Structure 1
């Protein structure tokens, strides 16, 4: 099991990010989810629960099954073990926190799990234990800070229109984001703390696959949030009412579309949707 906490620093407040994330997820999901094909929504409902510290948490709960058989070549479907081409996702969104769990109960059962716990705070990534980890978990955790403007991205991922170091928001009056942008943005800055726990128990493959998944998650966190920043003029000034209207319009345009209540859900399905990733993880 590998535990890493990714700290994504962003030039906006936590309140602004709620709108920014939902608008961006709605936009990205049009291209990434295939219109919801092969997604079975079992539950999508409000929830309330009491946490270990005694506080009451309320939010939205979703429970989905992803069926991948239609997305892979026939020869893979022919030889794939029963239950290997589906995955279960559960998510609890109580912004500014969100927890998403991804498993494969039909084949790998307890030997495979990806958990993403997100917490969003109006700081610069200096809080050491926002997820209330135990001393052992803190010892096992590796912290990685993501600078969306200055971190190097793969040449295949680079798009000049999504380069925050070259972007200026006309509506918000922010950017471009140079080498010292974090120091200059103290009044409008936040951190998305994303704790990712990956378990893949398979003799001879565990360490390699767990590292692979983490590398892909870091890549997705970086690329998505570079887009979020550079899309700022599309959502700046919108309200949550506007966002729900946009989401409803997308559902009408894309039959069989599905709800993504936080980015972590979208990142996991994108991670597992590619043929290479799917083949490596489930076989």
Structure 2
């Protein structure tokens, strides 16, 4: 098993980050659905929970199916039939603590992926925020990710560059400087511990390294760059408005992925301020 702790810092409070996180997850679910026929995100459940098998505090439970056939690298596609490219996500969000577990029915116990996160109003100084065991700490490596760094291996995309972003609503958050994590107030950190295991002979090391670096590290950087650069869309939304977005994303995914149960190609749901697919400039 490969364990990596990613630390992502943003110059906002945890309270603001929470709304941005929920907004981005709902928006991303819709953006990733319907681009390629039969692929995208299907939200199966989105409901409050009290009890759970992982000792998490009460919060919001979601279950999703990710249809990912075209996103899987060729060296994995060579050993797994196309019809089994479905990743199931189970997530318990008890912010500031979150736990997400993924499974693949075809791979079964050969595949394990989890993301355990603690969000804190600090600059990333905690050495063991998620309380890993002594054995896990021996396996863990730490990767501090900087969304403003142009040389972190993830190319900047036009409209999603925090160093160039100018907020129309919150000008004080415009154009992140390289030292923002040390100089800005407020600042928060997402401590994300990713455990990945792929027990397939001849592929384990390669898949685990690829999955951590490209699948997780790259996704975290892209997600948080978008979160920052689209803040004008979510910063003033209420939690109730975002929950409404989540329900619309759920219905949209079902229509696009299961057209036999509805009308395929219906227009993208609208929220306050317009379509959630309208990119911030």
User: What is the TM-score with the length of structure 1 in the denominator?
Assistant: 0.76
The alpha-carbon distance between structure 1 residues 168 and 140, as it changes in their structure 2 partners (threshold 3 A), is: same
Q: Kindly indicate whether the alpha-carbon contact (under 8 Å) linking 1:37 and 1:256 is maintained by their aligned counterparts in 2.
A: no
Where does residue 180 of structure 2 map in the other structure? 181
Higher helix share: 1
Q: Secondary structure at the match of 1:170?
A: coil
2:121 and 2:46 mapped to 1: Cα distance? 29
Q: Alpha carbons of 1:41 and 1:179: their partners in 2 closer, same or farther (altered >3 Å)?
A: closer
Query: 1:272: which partner in 2?
Result: none
Aligned length: 250
Cα distance change, pair 138–235 in 1 and its aligned pair in 2 (3 A): same
Aligned-residue offset at 1:6: 0.3
Alignment partners' CA distance in 2, 1:38 and 1:65: 8
TM (norm. structure 2) is 0.76
Match of 1:205 in 2: 203
Distance 2:71 2:209 in 1: 25
Unaligned runs of 5+ residues in structure 1 are 259-283
Offset, 1:150: 1.7
CA distance in 1, matches of 2:180, 2:71: 42
Structure 2 counterpart of 1:170: 168
Q: Secondary structure of 1:223's match?
A: helix
Question: CA separation of 1:238/1:130 partners in 2, compared to 1, >3 Å: closer, same or farther?
Answer: same
CA shift, 1:169, in A, is 2.3
Is residue 2:124 matched to residue 1:98? no
8 Å CA contact 1:3–1:195 kept in 2: the answer is: yes
Q: Could you give the per-residue CA deviations for residues 192-225 of structure 1, whole angstroms, max 9, x where no partner exists? A: 1111000001111111110000012111111111
Where 1:228 maps in the other structure, the secondary structure is helix
Structure-2 separation of matches of 1:241 and 1:209? 40
* Cα distance in 2 for residues equivalent to 1:184 and 1:129: 23
Cα drift, residue 161 of structure 1:
1.7
The answer on 1:121 being equivalent to 2:120 is: yes
Note the residue ranges of structure 2 that are not aligned, 5 or more in a row: 258-281
Alpha-carbon spacing, 1:204–1:148, altered in 2? closer, same or farther (3 Å): same
1:177-256 pair list within 5 angstroms: 177-185=176-184, 187-216=185-214, 217-251=216-250, 255-256=254-255
Counterpart in the other structure of 2:28: 28
Q: Distance in 2 between matches of 1:214 and 1:232?
A: 27
Contact 1:38 1:70 in 2 (8 A): no
Distance 2:162 2:69 in 1: 38
1:113 and 1:178, CA in 2 relative to 1: closer, same or farther beyond 3 A? same
Query: Which of 45, 48, 53 is matched with 2:47 structurally?
Result: 45
